[in-house]
Amino acid sequence: MNVTVLFLKPHIHGGVMYPAGVRIALPEADAAWIVRAGVGNVLMNGEDCARPVSNPARPSSARRTRRSQQNG
């Protein structure tokens, strides 16, 4: 499923340079990466109100490592 992303900073995506302020449709996984990187926001229905993209679950090994580090 594609979502609309508003670039907050200049960014090269798919070999194309997009300036800040440009809106493009991207697959949700790419949009999530853009948001996590702080490069853009996902727009709901193409409007100016940004909504967060849910982060994909971390692998269980990453969670175990983090917990074991916290517990000593």
Q: Say if CB 1 and CB 30 are below 8 A apart.
A: no
* Alpha carbon distance 58, 17 (integer Å): 30
Q: Where are the domains of the chain?
A: 2-70
pTM of the entire predicted model: 0.61
Asked if residue 56 has pLDDT above 50, the reply is no
pLDDT above 60 for 30 = yes
